[in-house]
Structure formats: structure tokens, C-alpha cells
Structure 1
């Protein structure tokens, strides 16, 4: 199944999300300890650049090709860091590896979204999101077992060579192939997936004529190639892109403000980290249930506000009330888990197929920018920073009211689907029955 393979890919990706630093190999202590922060900043910059770069290329050349190349890039650059002759070469290789990680995260998530039916989308993305938490927990255990940073780097890098080979077996997004004027290739991928799922009869019933009839609007729109500029030329897309960019920027900045404050909670940071991992998994697993009863927008608004209040409460409570402060910190972490999962689903439903990866990369860039600026605020304004981290989610929750509700709607393939979403929902469901349900996704 494509879904299980995608989950395996992302779990391995999560293992490499946290960089291992050779603190003593280049004597990053005393007057050189600032180089460690510089190296971490370079790594985050690689994620930021990769989020923009690979998303645009994936809309131009396809999701599968970018996924395979990103896997190879991560495997080669991360392995090469073991043999880096100096710290600056190491940082350059980590920058390239980080950009590859961003490409894998973007394309894997988008392939999964575009191969999943509307009814199962929330559950599938929630399961996938849990792989990040499991990967982080697994990395801690692996780092404890493998003390040497070079051996650890090798252990988390080598699997990507295998993933590179496996990725060629994955099918390309049929939606992307059809929208970009390649219906014959899209039909081949649909037949491949039908055979994988044991529905060989679908290869006979699903013909090029049926496909062209069901997707005639998408095929007609293929001449309108998407670009980053189009996100700002079309008023509807510009509004959605700006709101999502600001929302992700505030969300990630506040998230890092919370997780980087563990040492100030006065408890065992390792135990607290375990609590964070458990509550994160529980939150992500709960998200599909919440989405089935509530809309995307109301969940984002309410949990953004709750996360902000939790951070403010944690900041304003006296230091001697450590237990209560830990409760608010864990509550805030759970809110972030729900928000991250919901955003992963919601942002893919706001854009047409031809622009989905480009828009996703732009939104991801907002989050990556927040991850870079968040720690800088704590360094420059240590007293004001906790208040900023708490106010930002509350403020960003207000602008989310200007976004539409997408619960129950199929993924939009054209601008016409966005402009007439209610009337196009029935047609979209009919198309999805022909294309997706015949392959049992």
C-alpha cells in the first residue's frame, strides 16, 4: 500500500530531523561555543530554503521525482558530514542535508494527501504525523545507545539509500499528472495502484475515456501552469496564502518558545520531554475524531487561543507553583500537536492541484522563518519573549476566521473548484468515486 510506505518514509525522516552536533570534535567550547548556535541556525536556514525550493520544483516536475532526489541528497550529504575536514564544511553539508529533509517532508505529505480520499484524509495524516513524534523518541534511544556522533550520523543516514530505491516504486500523483496534461500517465498510475490493492477489475472499467470525461475541467485547466507569482496575483489565493503564512510563522515561533523553556520549569527535563512526546501522540491521534465533529477552522481558532493562554499562564504563574506550570506546559504542547496535524490537512485543501506544492512550500517557509526568529527573540529580549510567545497564537487565531471551512469537500483541482466550492462539491465527489474509490484508497 502507498500509505504504509509513505508512513515508513516519514518515520525515517523524523529520525534525522534533530541534528547531532560534534561538540568536542572541533572544540566547540569556551570562546568557540557560539559556533554551535551558528551551525544550528545554518541547519534551520537549510530547512527554510528547501521548503521554498523543492515545493516549486515539485509542482513543475512532479512529486515522485523530487522525493527520490531529496532522499539521495540527504543520504549523500549526511554521510559525507562524517568525513568533513573542518566545521564550516560540516555546516555546508548539513545545510544541503536539511534542504533535502524539507523536500522529503513536503513531497511525502503531498503524495499521501493526493492519494487519499476525503473521508480518510484526516485519519491518514494524523497517523503520519505521529511518525514525527515516534521518530524523535526513537532518536533519543538511538543516541543513548550510539554515543559517538559519527556512528550516530551514519546510523540515521544510511537508511536513506534504501528509501531512495524504494521511492521509485511509489506511484506519481495521478491528480498532478492529469492537471498538467498527462492523462495517459495518470491512468497508468491509477491502474498500478488498483493492482497493488487487489482490484484488477478497475483496470478494465477505468479507461482513458472515463478518465477524460470525469476530469474534463482539470484537463481543460492544464494550460494555466501554476507559479509562485500566481499565489499573489489571484486575490483569493493571495488572502489565503498570507493568512496561512502568518499563522504558521506565529505557530512555530511560539512552539519553539515553549519547548526551549524546559529548563525553566524546574522539573526533570528528560521526564518532561517524555511527557511532551506522549501528549503529542495522544493529541495527534485525537485530531481525526475532533475533525469529524468540528470544522478545520474552529479547531485551529480554539486550540490556537488555548495554546496562547497556556503559555501566558505558564509565564505569569509564580516559580514556586512548578506542578501547575508543568500542567500548563503539557497542555500547550498537546494543543500544538492538534494544530500541527490540522494545519497539515487544512493547507492542502485551500489550493488547486497545480499550485498545491508551491503554496505548501510558501506556507512551510513561514513556519521555518518562525523557527529561526523564535530563539533570537529569547536571546535579545529574554523578559518580553514569553509574553510574545503567548500573545502570537491568540492574535493569529483571529485572522483564521477569514479562511473558508473545507470539511467534507474533496481536494480542489482547479480555480473553478475554489470559486464554486459548494456547487462543485457534488461533482468533486462523483469524480472521486470514479478515480479514487475504484482503487480502494
Structure 2
């Protein structure tokens, strides 16, 4: 009997699938927090050079006299073009004569300046500390802030490549549990390190774990779902990631010290590691990897949980236009919103924000549709590897996008034209792919070759495994 028929027998969206999602959704929410953690831990607060007379408590108390802090600041710190204290320079010698100037003097010699040799003073009103203030990643060292973010993305790229292979080889659940434990260890350790390079290494390892958790969570849900309900389930996954983004903002508002925030978004993964023991391995993967008895045992567990009542029959939801048409439509809208916004005057802020909102919404919808399509196009034996390659492509895109802004030196609207035209071309390319709406998931390469009949036979190199109804 084909696996899809067995899944229909035990329930394609019943109590078991709901419980599986209840266990997995928190993993997705907190993983999203890990992915965007640098939005808050690498904030660059207002800063200026440390000055002995200003910032040494003993000297300030004795020598400041009747001079206010702002007055002293004017003596020791030069002003930038916006008449604000410079962030990266200070006067070599105090400029007392500046106290007597009521206006600008054009023929005055520019006082000698130097870099912040003694460190910086930071504005702690919003964030008591960040990794920027921890390791002084400002001025000449500001580029190192980007290193942290790049290394996390590089970790996701490497994790996508390695994790996909390991998941197809050793199973979705085993690799997921390992990554949950790894993220607990490296994430928690990052909250206590005092060396910047070690912190970078730990964030790289966090990126490796995060992408594997996302991919395997998705497979452990979708490979248990009937085709009519798959869109709804993947939409829930996308919404879970969005909830994670919202939650991170709230956590960052409450826990503003970067080490505390790092700890708060890492410790829950220890709980997830223990709760993941109740997840059920994908029966598809078990059967395809010559473990039919374990696969049937998993199916029996599902049947018992669902009461053998086909609980999913009444819960169906489909994008009715099909995968290809839906993706093409939304990607066209993304491209058009970018192109139109490019030529809207800056003064029309309401219209610009509205167009940007439409573009972001359509982009999210197209990503959801794409997630459904890729799961249905790729057979079970290669699905994790394919998701790994998809991760590589997305990371390359994320890396390339900021570089395109350099083209503004030649033509100010050129990057935005590229951003607008690219999704339109990609939407047309989607039409080349086969439609998979309401079709069962492919399991083997044999199924791909015979996708017109969608045979669900399980083929091995020189043997045939027959799966029967129990």
C-alpha cells in the first residue's frame, strides 16, 4: 500500500499532527529570536571619546568648578558638521578660547585632534550594554560589528549544507535533538564569554544549529500531513517565525543588557531538547531508509493518537490557484511595488509606506508558497539536502543585496530597479516547474521519474519493500 494511503488511514491532520506542531512551534519561535538577535545586541549607542578631565570622577569633582558638563565637553570634544560632539576624535589640548566665541570664526586655525586613545563614553539610556560597548566596536573598529552578523549567516550556510546531508542520513529527529542541545550550549556560553573572537565562533555555531532546527522542524511536520492541509500547516510555520520576531522585540525591551538577552533566548532550548523526545520520527524517512518496522510502529502510534477516525478530512485549506500561479502572482506584486516606489517622490511618505507594506506582505506570501512548493517537488530521500541548498541560495542573496547598493554611485535608482525586476523574472521562471497542488509528497527518485502516476512504491537498489495496512 502506498504511504499516502496509509497516512489517509491513520489520519493526515488529526490529534497527533496537532500535538506534533504544539511541540515544534516553540522551537521555531525561539530560533527566529536567535536569528535576529544582533538587531539588539549589536546596537551602536551614542558615544564620544573618553576625556580625563570630564570622565575621571576625582578630577571632575575637584576642578570642574562652575563649568557645566556641556561647557567642558565643548572644550575637549570637537563638533561635527551637525554641531554635535564628534564620536571618534577629541582635541589634543583643551580649547579654552572656544568658551568666548559667540559665533563662527572663519579665519581661526583648526585645533589639532586625535583619535580616542583612552576609549569611549557611551550613552546607556536605551541599552546599558551591547557587544559594541563591551568590546568598543566603534570608529575604526566598527567593521568588526558586521563580522558577527556575517559569521552567523555563514554558519547558517554551512549548517544548511551539512545538516541536510546528516538529516537524510541519520534521520530528522536525531539531528534536530543534537542541534537543540548544541544551540543550548553555544548560546548560553556566548552570554558569559569575555573574548570577542570566541563570541564570534559561538555565533557561527549558533547559525549552524539554527538553520538545521528550522529545516528539520518543517520536515517533521509536513511529512506527516495530507496534501489538502499542507498549505495551512506551512503557513502556521511562517506565522511562528513572525511571532518570534515580535517576541524578540518585547524581550529586548525588557532585558536590555546584551548578556541577559543572550541568555534568555538560549536557555529555553534546553527545555526544547528534553521535550523533543516526544516527537515522532518521519515514517516516510524510516520506510525509505529500509526501516519499515520502525515506520509501521510510528504509523501505529499516529493511528492510536488520532483514534483511526480520519480526523483530518474536515480540516482542509488550499491557495486555489495552485503553487505556480500563486508564486508568480505574488512575486510580480513584489517587483511592481518596488519599481513603483522607486519613482514615488520622497515627500509622499504615506504612499511610499503603503507600497512598501504591500511589497513586504506579498514577499511573505510568496515565501510561504515557495516553501510548500519545494516540499512537494523534492522526494523524501533528498528533501533535507534540497532545503540545505535552498538555504545556501538565500544566504547568498542576503549577502549580495547590500552590495548592490554600491551601484548607487553610478545611478541612484539602479539597485531598486534590480530589486524590482529580479522577482518578476523569478516569478516567470516558476512557471517552468511542475504543478503539485493536491498531490502526495514524493518519496523516491522512482516517484519523480513516474510523477504522472505518482507511484508510492518504495524502491531500493535490488529489493522491494512492501508496506501493508496493519
CA distance in 1, matches of 2:446, 2:361: 37
1:416 maps to what in 2? 446
Q: Secondary structure at the match of 2:133?
A: coil
The alignment's TM-score, normalised by the length of structure 1, stands at 0.74
Runs of 4+ in 1 over 6 A off after TM superposition: 425-428
1:187 shift after superposition: 1.2
Q: Residues 380 and 48 (structure 1 numbering): CA distance in 2 closer, same or farther, change over 3 Å? A: farther
2:72 maps to what in 1? none
Root mean square deviation, CA, Å: 2.2
Match of 1:40 among 149, 159, 163: 149
CA distance in 2, matches of 1:23, 1:376: 23
Residues 153-173 of structure 1, C-alpha deviations (whole Å, 9 max, x = no match):
100000000111111221111
CA distance in 2, matches of 1:68, 1:354: 20
Q: Does residue 423 of structure 2 align to residue 393 of structure 1? A: yes
Match of 1:105 among 214, 219, 229: 214
1:373 maps to what in 2? 400
Residues 25-59 of structure 1, C-alpha deviations (whole Å, 9 max, x = no match):
11111111111112111111111111111011100
1:4 maps to what in 2? 22
Gap regions ≥5 residues in structure 1:
203-287
1:375 shift after superposition: 1.6
CA distance in 1, matches of 2:25, 2:305: 17
1:289-438 to 2 correspondences below 5 Å: 291-379=318-406, 381=408, 383=412, 384-424=414-454
CA distance in 2, matches of 1:381, 1:434: 63
CA distance in 2, matches of 1:97, 1:128: 20
1:133 maps to what in 2? 242
Q: Residues 355 and 377 (structure 1 numbering): CA distance in 2 closer, same or farther, change over 3 Å? A: same
CA distance in 1, matches of 2:204, 2:335: 32
Q: Residues 381 and 50 (structure 1 numbering): CA distance in 2 closer, same or farther, change over 3 Å? A: farther
Q: Does residue 167 of structure 2 align to residue 58 of structure 1? A: yes
Q: Residues 169 and 426 (structure 1 numbering): CA distance in 2 closer, same or farther, change over 3 Å? A: closer
1:284 maps to what in 2? none
Query: Which one has the largest radius of gyration?
Result: 2
The alignment's TM-score, normalised by the length of structure 2, stands at 0.70
Figure out how many residues of one structure are paired with residues of the other and give that number: 345
CA distance in 2, matches of 1:98, 1:332: 27
Q: Secondary structure at the match of 1:422?
A: coil
Structure with greater helix percent = 1
1:23 shift after superposition: 1.7
